[in-house]
Amino acid sequence: MKEPVRVTVTGAAGQICYSLLFRIASGEMLGKDQPVILNLLEITPALKVCEAVAMELNDCAFPLVKDVVVTDDPAVAFKDAKIGLMVGAKPRGPGMERKDLIADNGKIFSSLGKVIDDVADKDIRICVVGNPANTNAYILAANAPSINQRNITALTRLDHNRAIYQLAEKSGSDIADVKKMTIWGNHSVTQVPDISFTEINGANAADKVDATWAKEEFIPTVAKRGAAVIAARGASSAASAANAILDHMRDWCLGSESGDWVSMAVPSDGSYGVEKGLIYSYPVVCKDGDYEIVQDLEVSDFIKGKMVESETELKEERDTVSDLL
C-alpha cells in the first residue's frame, strides 16, 4: 500500500465540498490504490457542520481514508499537505462589484499563502476554485514564494467541460468524441472558449458547426453558464464544480488522456504573448505529475483579440490588489 497523501480542502462544509469529498475518498481523484488523509478547513462558525461531514465520511468506511481532520486553524490544515483544494471563498452578494469581491477574497488568499509557505510541503499542488480564481491564485503565489510556483493553479476545467457539452449538443456528437477543447484566459466572462483546434471523431469541429454560432453564441453561452445555473437553481454550481476539480487534479497527477489536452489556469511562461506570471488558462498536456502548455497553435486574429481582452482584465485585477502582493 502506498503512503497516504495529505489533501487539504478549504470551505469543507460548503456545497461544492459535499459533492467533492466523498469522491476523493473513493479514489476518483488520485486513484483506487492511493490512500489519503483529508484535512478539512472551515471558518469557526461552520465547524459543527464540517464535523458532521467528517462523521459521514467516516460512516462510509472508505478503505482509502486513513484519517479525517477537522480544523479552523490553517496552520494545522496545511501542515505537510501535498494537495490543496482552495474551495472556500466569500461569495458575491447582491449589489457587490467584482472589485469588492477581489478585495475581500484577496485578503483570505494572502493570509493562506503565508501559512502554506510556512508549513505545507514545498511541492504542494494547489487548485484555486474560490473566485476570482485566477487572481486569488496569483495572490496566493505572491505570498508563498518558497512553494513551487508552477504548482499554483486555478480551475478552468469547469469552463472546459461546459464547452465540450455545448459543442457536442450543437453538433449532435457524443461527448466522448470531442477532443482538444481550449479555454484561454480568465475564469470570468472574458474567458475565451476556442474550438479552432477541437476535434470530433478526429475531424475539425469548426467544420461541423456554423461559424457565426461559434463566435456569437458558443463563447458567451459557455462564459455565462455559471450565471445561468445561479438563475435556475438560486445557487452557484456545486456538483459540476466538484467534478471539474476532480478532473483537474486527476489529469494533473495521473496524466491526461493520450491524443487530447485539457485546460488549466497556470502561471504564464510568456506563451502566446501573455505576460509572464499571470495565472492564465491554456491548453495543457499532463504527464508524470506535471503539465506542459501546448505550443505553436496558430491562433486566429479574432481569438487573439479576445485573449488580449482577458489578459487585460487579469492585469486590472492584479493592480486592484497590489497591496496584497
What is the number of domains present in the chain? 2
Inter-CA distances, 20 with 62, 129, 149, 205, 291, Å: 14, 12, 25, 32, 23
Give the chain's residues under pLDDT 70: 93-97
Q: Are strands 290-293 and 279-287 parallel, antiparallel or unpaired?
A: antiparallel
Q: Answer yes or no: is 231 a known binding residue.
A: no
For 96-129, write each residue's pLDDT tens digit: 667 778 988 999 999 999 999 999 999 999 999 9
**Is there a binding annotation on residue 46?**
no
187 given a catalytic annotation? yes
> Is the same domain home to 163 and 290?
yes
**Is residue 140 assigned to a domain?**
yes
Q: What is the pLDDT of residue 94?
A: 64
Residue 12 annotated as lining a ligand binding site: yes
pLDDT digits (tens, 9 = 90+) for 210-239: 999 999 999 999 999 988 998 898 888 999
Domain endpoint, select from 154, 178, 206: 154
Judge whether 240 lies within some domain: yes
* Residue 105 counted as an annotated binding residue: yes
pLDDT for the residue 141 = 98
Same domain, 282 and 314: yes
Q: Are residues 164 and 312 in the same domain?
A: yes
**Can you point out the beta strands (E) in 107-175?**
125-128, 152-154
Catalytic annotation, pick one of 79, 82, 157, 187: 187
Q: What residue numbers bound the domain in which 42 lies? A: 5-154
Spatial CB neighbours of 129, under 8 Å, sequence gap ≥ 6 = 16, 85, 86, 87, 89, 154, 155, 241, 245
The verdict on whether residue 235 carries a ligand-binding annotation is no
Number of neighbours of residue 176 by Cβ within 10 angstroms: 9
Could you tell me the three cell numbers for 245? Answer: 476539480
